[in-house]
């Protein structure tokens, strides 16, 4: 797994081993790499946006198939190494922080990039996997599909169902923006050095039509999720009262959304939060 942000930290290493620069754990298992490439469903001439290529093991597997790779990497040493390793006809690398960079501009490393959605692949470090997942939600209109590897705990969070301990704002946002499929798990031995945790590979397909998250509703949804999950053990009413400074306003919004004020956020399904987001928007609470 590669460093995406300079202060991203890392997955914990086994046995107190010295961590490589930026806390990186590099994917080295050939079988896992081939399974990820197969899951992408790309071939010669297609364009893939790779976030955090690291030492280029996955990049190389894609290039061998004739796939063009536009990669974003924050580590200057790795950018230099990758630039010397690959033919620019197939692989182009940009040194940047993906969290603050426009994904479309990365794809434009190839002048003839198509106007269609991007195919994205990444092995995501634990410390920045949630911010990157939220960025992919924000930029979902530019993405055709993505195959992403997370720490297994994070993969469970983005797919969590109401009522589970893992369920929270990330599950609601990601689940409303994408259909997320868990493909397979990856053991620590697939990396050098091995992390102390297992990972999971997931495939993300943007929702479309009536199932898609309305961009106009997204700011209100983010706001109401932040308020409702402010203190997980508190009721919706108490959390909204704390966020809004008014019990009356909290009760009014929950009434409009048809939600039980005494219920906890972890038990509310996404449709309930969408109704509450509409109530937030109607009340001008943004």
CATH number where 273 lies: 1.10.8.100
Q: What is the distance between the alpha carbons of residues 205 and 170, in angstroms, rounded to a whole number?
A: 16
User: Residue 275 is part of which domain span?
Assistant: 218-282
Question: Which 8-state DSSP code applies to residue 5?
Answer: S
Task: Show the low-confidence residues of the chain (pLDDT under 50).
Answer: 1-22
Structural domains of the chain, count: 2
Segment holding 221, helix H or strand E:
helix 218-228
pLDDT of residue 205: 97
- Count the neighbouring beta carbons within 10 Å of the beta carbon of residue 226: 12
Q: Are residues 33 and 165 in the same domain?
A: yes
| Per-residue pLDDT tens over the stretch 39-83 | 999 999 999 999 999 999 999 999 999 999 999 999 999 999 999
Q: Are residues 122 and 101 in the same domain?
A: yes
SS3 78: helix
CATH number (domain holding residue 77) = 3.40.50.150
| Per-residue pLDDT tens over the stretch 35-45 | 999 999 999 99
Q: Are residues 256 and 129 in the same domain?
A: no
pTM: 0.88
Q: What is the distance between the alpha carbons of residues 181 and 186, in angstroms, rounded to a whole number?
A: 15
In a domain, 44, yes or no: yes
pLDDT of residue 5: 29
54, 23 Cβ separation under 8 angstroms: no
């Amino acid at each position: 797994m590669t460093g995406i942000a300079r202060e991203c930290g890392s997955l914990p290493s086994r046995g107190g081993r010295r961590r490589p620069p930026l806390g990186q754990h590099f994917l080295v298992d050939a079988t896992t790499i081939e399974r990820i490439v197969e899951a992408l469903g790309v071939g010669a001439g297609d364009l893939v946006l790779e976030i955090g290529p690291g030492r280029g093991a996955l990049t190389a597997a894609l290039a061998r198939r004739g796939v063009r790779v536009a990669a974003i990497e924050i580590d200057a040493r790795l950018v230099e190494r990758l630039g010397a390793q690959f033919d620019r006809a197939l692989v182009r690398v940009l040194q940047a922080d993906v969290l603050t960079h426009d994904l479309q501009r990365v794809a434009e490393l190839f002048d003839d990039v198509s106007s269609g959605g991007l195919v994205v692949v990444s092995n995501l470090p634990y410390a920045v996997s949630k911010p990157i997942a939220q960025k992919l939600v924000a930029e979902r209109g530019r993405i055709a599909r993505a195959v992403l590897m997370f720490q297994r705990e994070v993969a469970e969070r983005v797919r969590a169902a109401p009522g589970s301990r893992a369920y929270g704002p990330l599950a609601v946002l990601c689940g409303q923006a994408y259909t997320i499929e868990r493909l397979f798990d990856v053991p620590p031995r697939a990396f050098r050095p091995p992390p102390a945790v297992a990972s999971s590979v997931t495939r993300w397909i943007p929702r479309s039509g009536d199932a898609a998250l309305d961009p106009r509703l997204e700011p209100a949804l983010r706001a109401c999720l932040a308020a409702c999950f402010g203190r997980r053990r508190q009721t919706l009413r108490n959390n909204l009262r704390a966020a809004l400074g008014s019990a009356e306003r909290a009760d009014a919004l929950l009434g409009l959304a048809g939600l039980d004020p005494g219920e906890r956020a972890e038990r509310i399904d996404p449709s309930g939060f969408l109704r509450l987001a509409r109530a937030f928007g109607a009340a001008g609470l943004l």
